[in-house]
Structure 1
């Protein structure tokens, strides 16, 4: 049973008061049942492709005793005071939303049952909610629509609320339903960022620095302003107006792009001679000496990576005397609202953030630079403005995953089993979040070594020479890649099967040991294997490849996420992590020459193509653990297992991409 105190806490301490005349049942901000008996769930976190809306529909349908398809979904605006944290980060969405959403739906269900029991004058315990109706063995049944007015008059504090026990679940962990918004997405009805702007908006594109850190010195905009449709040219000053550059505002995207081409800008400052090969060498030189007798040793080089979401960055803003409105695919609408209110010196009530469906995020849309550009353009134009980034803009002006160099050393016993280890890391902090300019924070993010081998991990930070930010799995994707590749090399050196060596080094009752056993039994002999424990979840990945053809053939991933709320969503997330891993191991990386990012789009930032995709088998391992995180879980082990499988018994892995120059 849920107490009133627990209900308030789970719902973010906000229970909506419903007027006595209301014909809508809305016991909390997350769930309501309208006068026609329809269930409506308000989803506080944005959907960046991870399926949070579908997960919300499953949770609400389960506790409200309706079908998933019967739940209407509404996206909450940015408002942390009402909805709590709205950040999509650190694989927290399911873990943070499950209890509030279940509790809200269960409260509505119990109020409907109480209303039916009062009408029938029977104990509520004799009534059952089922498929949008309340039933009684002698009195018959009533649809929710007939009970909503009476239920809305009941004080939730007077009705005991119980969650549906796991043994009675129909949907949680069991439904194979697809995404709730799949039809809207594939038919083009789903509105993404730039499609969600108000009518009459203008469009802006930005002339961005030709090399890192450059800023406009002189701007000749005569030819740009002469382009039909161009209405304004605006200098953007960082950081308050994004990354900086010169915005061309026009009546259409075509006119804005033509205006940008006609613009003449002289640039100054920055680092026009920067080269990522030099950066990599500097990082390796920053590694401290290996303490003691090194034993087996290996150095790994990991490159810069861009986010490359399918939907490039964009944002729409409207600045008026009454306040500010933003429409954008963002990962933290509530945090953005607070930040903008502080930066613009406005009450939060005068700042409205409307999060849209996002075509991928992977950490990039935590950052507000596109929104800041749109605000500056709207202020200058006196109208709503959509700032569009082209694919080239998105690739060459990202906030990248940092480069890193890893020196790993291990002492081995007579049987070839590691008895001690060191892992020395030289990398850059995340410039988008100052607390990461601290080795201890980087270590906490990256160090998730799960095996019973004593040792020491150290981090050396060098100043970042360009913008760096969150990238799927953050530092764990780098630490885990090096550690798992190294452990596979140790196994092969000692004549051990890489799976069996990991089994030997994991506690017998551990979640990782269980998923590893499941994956090995399912896959059979594999060329690559890796494990990862993070976000309250565990995963093991086994890979078969053809090293001669540089072709990955088959991937098996066994995953324990506690309660898999939406199983097909779990599978999709793991598959996405595997494909990101495949892409970065096979060749995707960002390089810098003469101060500029070389790669411009998917034609040279080589993401995996359809023909590269292996058969992927995702196995959900039953568990009694709480709901775990998932969005970033698969990438680190999948990358290491793929690289090791491609190496086979030949030259060991020394970096990423595999057997290609790094930097």
Structure 2
């Protein structure tokens, strides 16, 4: 039983605070909190406080509200909350935390509405509350009949929520949550083009801006000749953008259409100076390797792993729309943190937060990139100059060549091997760059905490050396864990091969007794028929525990043809509220893993990022995608996170399978890094 005051105390200590008026005012709608609203026409609206960046949070919100209100998801309209941390708490989509942190508040919000409706019906019928039940949008009583929610809204809204005990629907009575049927509630809108993404924002009188960005790293404009540009039809303004925060600046051309803005940018004559025109990513990886300590603390088996720069490459390139007015500013953007963005804009513009409205649109991919505000700040600067709404559009080449990349890193793994062929002591030495978009990530301890999730009972030390980053770096799916685990699991696979040990048995022996990883490892081994290898194939396995969840992955590949045939995963997120969404998240991570292991990397030559599109940034096509089998292991563990969980073990398992028993030395597999 959860009382209203208990909920308030519990959520105030976390990332999300539920605001509940006590008592609620009698009105034509029932809104006992900021997440659920029922009106006297029978309409039910749920508010998703965090943006949907493809992870399906709107669907989970709809499922939770429908479950607790005893209706179907088709009866729920899901609205996206604007940026407002005072009302909704943290709105950041990061650290695979959205569902974990929203589950209790959203479910309790809907359950509160249900209990108020049931109480109102019981009072009208003058019967005990325990004799009434909510079902199919109505409150039912065995003798009194039923009352639809719309007939009870006014009476329920007059009740004091603090006086009504709230009980969540127990899992054994779930109709929707945890069930295998059902996909995304917005799937039809997405595939038919009705979903509005950030790039679809079209406020009345809106203009479009594109930016001429530095041709090499760190360059700034020296001279700007915009005479031809300003004479072109549709061009409204040309302005120089200073680098916002860790951004890169450039020269923006604002026009009445995208085509006119692009023509205007092409007509600019700019000379550039400064920066690092001779930068080369091959030298960077050499510099990182040179920074390794002269000798390892362990004299035994050793291997060095090199990890490349990676771009985020969302299907929807970066964009934002802003309208700065004398009385405030409105922003439309596919941001990962509308509340934080609102606070930042208010501070930058010197206005109260109430004068800033951030509308979080659907996002065509994010993967950590859209936590950064640079496109929004560019749109705000353009709007301030033109006194009109302005949408800043990044082209695919802009997005690829001016990203905040996943840092390069070098890892030296060392292990002492016992008489039984098992590792008995280990060392993991890392040299990498910080995340320049968040200065605290220059701290080696923070990088280690992000990356080091070694689950096996092999004693040893992990040391991190941080070198200055020569370009902008930022959050990329799984952050540092994707690099740490790739080295650790491939090194463990090499030890197993050297010692003639079965890779599953090796990991089982090294996992702590009672580990959740034991169960998912056994499950995936059975699903992949580990004891019956197919001729001509090789297999790799990896385990990972993070975000309160556990996963084991087995990849099957044909090393000779460098084809990944199948990927099996068993995942334990506690209770999977939306199984279809769980599978989709794992599948997305596997696609990223196939892409990065088979060739995707960012390279720099003569100060310029070479890759400009999916033509040379080798992301997996449909034909490269393996069969993906995801098994959900339901447990009683607390609800875990998922969005980033599967990428690190999937990448490690795929590389090990492609190697076919040979040592892996880096990512991409079989390609020079840098």
Pairwise TM-score range, normalised by the shorter structure: over 0.9
Do 1:46 and 1:357's aligned partners in 2 also have CA atoms closer than 8 Å? yes
Q: Which residue of 2 aligns with 1:541?
A: 553
> What aligned pairs does 1:354-433 form with structure 2 within 5 A after superposition?
354-433=359-438
For 1:204 and 1:241, how far apart are their aligned partners in 2? Answer: 20
Deviations 1:522-543 (A, max 9, x none): 1023610000000000000001
**Partner of residue 118 from structure 2, selected from 90, 113, 117:** 113
Matched, 1:527 2:532: no
Pairwise CA distance, 1:146? 1.0
Q: Which residue of 2 aligns with 1:5?
A: 5
Pairwise CA distance, 1:626? 1.1
**Partner of residue 495 from structure 1, selected from 479, 500, 509:** 500
- SS of aligned partner of 2:542: strand
Matched, 1:592 2:597: no
- SS of aligned partner of 1:482: helix
CA 1:203–1:299: 2 relative to 1, 3 Å: same
Q: Which residue of 1 aligns with 2:645?
A: 633
Q: Which residue of 1 aligns with 2:669?
A: 658
Pairwise CA distance, 1:14? 1.1
- SS of aligned partner of 1:37: coil
Pairwise CA distance, 1:238? 1.2
CA 1:293–1:480: 2 relative to 1, 3 Å: closer
Pairwise CA distance, 1:19? 6.5
Pairwise CA distance, 1:508? 3.4
Size of the aligned set, in residue pairs, is 662
Q: Which residue of 2 aligns with 1:138?
A: 143
> What aligned pairs does 1:119-198 form with structure 2 within 5 A after superposition?
119-198=124-203
For 2:306 and 2:296, how far apart are their aligned partners in 1? Answer: 20
- SS of aligned partner of 1:527: strand
> What aligned pairs does 1:226-245 form with structure 2 within 5 A after superposition?
226-239=231-244, 242-245=247-250
Do 1:536 and 1:561's aligned partners in 2 also have CA atoms closer than 8 Å? yes
For 2:113 and 2:159, how far apart are their aligned partners in 1? Answer: 10
Pairwise CA distance, 1:242? 4.5
Q: Which residue of 2 aligns with 1:50?
A: 55
Q: Which residue of 1 aligns with 2:64?
A: 59
Do 2:306 and 2:409's aligned partners in 1 also have CA atoms closer than 8 Å? yes
Pairwise CA distance, 1:18? 7.5
For 1:156 and 1:77, how far apart are their aligned partners in 2? Answer: 25
CA 1:392–1:17: 2 relative to 1, 3 Å: farther
Q: Which residue of 2 aligns with 1:200?
A: 205
State the TM-score, normalized to the length of structure 2: 0.97
Pairwise CA distance, 1:196? 2.3
In angstroms, what is the RMSD of aligned CA positions? 1.2
Q: Which residue of 2 aligns with 1:351?
A: 356
Deviations 1:250-297 (A, max 9, x none): 000000000000000000110000000000000001111334442100
For 1:197 and 1:47, how far apart are their aligned partners in 2? Answer: 20
Pairwise CA distance, 1:36? 1.6
Matched, 1:302 2:313: no
Pairwise CA distance, 1:137? 1.2
For 1:572 and 1:292, how far apart are their aligned partners in 2? Answer: 42
For 1:27 and 1:605, how far apart are their aligned partners in 2? Answer: 49
For 1:293 and 1:245, how far apart are their aligned partners in 2? Answer: 49
- SS of aligned partner of 1:336: helix
For 1:220 and 1:207, how far apart are their aligned partners in 2? Answer: 12
Pairwise CA distance, 1:507? 2.2
Q: Which residue of 2 aligns with 1:617?
A: 629
- SS of aligned partner of 1:658: coil
For 1:547 and 1:175, how far apart are their aligned partners in 2? Answer: 35
Pairwise CA distance, 1:69? 1.7
Deviations 1:122-148 (A, max 9, x none): 000111111111111111111111111
For 2:245 and 2:351, how far apart are their aligned partners in 1? Answer: 15
Deviations 1:226-267 (A, max 9, x none): 111101101001126942000000000000000000000000
- SS of aligned partner of 1:278: helix
- SS of aligned partner of 1:548: coil
Q: Which residue of 2 aligns with 1:645?
A: 657
For 1:273 and 1:291, how far apart are their aligned partners in 2? Answer: 32
Q: Which residue of 1 aligns with 2:467?
A: 462
Pairwise CA distance, 1:35? 1.2
Q: Which residue of 2 aligns with 1:579?
A: 591
Deviations 1:132-188 (A, max 9, x none): 111111111111111111111111111111111121111111152111111111111
State the TM-score, normalized to the length of structure 1: 0.99
CA 1:399–1:587: 2 relative to 1, 3 Å: same
Structure 1 residue runs without a partner (length 5+): none
Matched, 1:279 2:284: yes
For 2:245 and 2:429, how far apart are their aligned partners in 1? Answer: 36
Do 1:240 and 1:372's aligned partners in 2 also have CA atoms closer than 8 Å? no
For 1:196 and 1:300, how far apart are their aligned partners in 2? Answer: 44
- SS of aligned partner of 2:29: coil
**Partner of residue 213 from structure 1, selected from 215, 218, 243:** 218
Pairwise CA distance, 1:618? 0.3
For 2:663 and 2:245, how far apart are their aligned partners in 1? Answer: 46
Matched, 1:86 2:98: no
**Partner of residue 335 from structure 2, selected from 330, 336, 353:** 330
Q: Which residue of 1 aligns with 2:345?
A: 340
Matched, 1:267 2:279: no
Pairwise CA distance, 1:427? 0.1
Do 2:92 and 2:339's aligned partners in 1 also have CA atoms closer than 8 Å? yes
